[in-house]
Each structure stands twice: as structure tokens, then as C-alpha cells.
Amino acid sequence: SPQSCVIDTLINGKIQAAIDSKVHSILAKRRLICTTAFSRGANAYCPSGYLATGCACGMACGSWDIRGDATCHCQCANIDWTSARCCKVAIVG
């Protein structure tokens, strides 16, 4: 009936407007967050919740691999340090 249509449209309009503003404000707070995990020796471990996105090694070594999604392992001999770059998506602020 015409009357219920009006209410329908009214509610739909309210819902869309509320969702738009809310979703964008929450989404804007979800960012990429990164940190670095440095360690002596040939392995470096990202903090819980983070994933390794890249690794650096001592001895100018560019040969590394990532184990278990969050551990950097440097493969050259006599590696003195390893550094993991660790990132995640989380709410900021």
C-alpha cells in the first residue's frame, strides 16, 4: 500500500545513509601496519599476528626464505644477524 511504501523508502534511505558514513569511517581506520624484528644469528621472528613480507641478512647476503609465514631465515654461511620486515592489517586509532 502507498503508506507502507513511504515507510519503506524512509527506512531504506536511513539505512543507506547510516551505513555509508559508518562503514567509511571504520574502514579508514583499518590500515597496513609494519614493524621490524631484528635478531642475532640466521633467524628472525615476526611478532604474533604479523606476517613476514621481506627479510634482510648480515654479510651482504640476499639469499633468504620465509618459514611458517612469519620467520625469516638467512641461508649464507656465518650469518651474524637477520632482520624480518613484518606487516598486518589492523585498526589504527
* Alpha-carbon distance values, 44 to 3, 48, 50, 80 (Å): 66, 13, 13, 11
Rg (CA), the chain: 24
* Alpha-carbon distance values, 6 to 16, 34, 40 (Å): 15, 49, 69
5 makes contact with its own copies (CB under 8 A)? no
30 makes contact with its own copies (CB under 8 A)? yes
DSSP secondary structure code for residue 21 in this structure: H
Q: Write down the least CB distance from residue 68 to its own copies, Å.
A: 11
Q: Write down the least CB distance from residue 24 to its own copies, Å.
A: 7
Judge whether 37 and 86 are in contact, CB under 8 Å. yes
9 makes contact with its own copies (CB under 8 A)? no
By rule CB under 8 A, what string of x and - marks binding of each residue 33-72 to its own copies? Answer: xx-x--------------xxxxxxxxxxxxxxxx--x---
User: Which chain residues interact with its own copies by CB under 8 A?
Assistant: 8, 11-12, 14-16, 18-20, 22-24, 26-27, 30-34, 36, 51-66, 69, 76, 83, 85, 87-89, 91
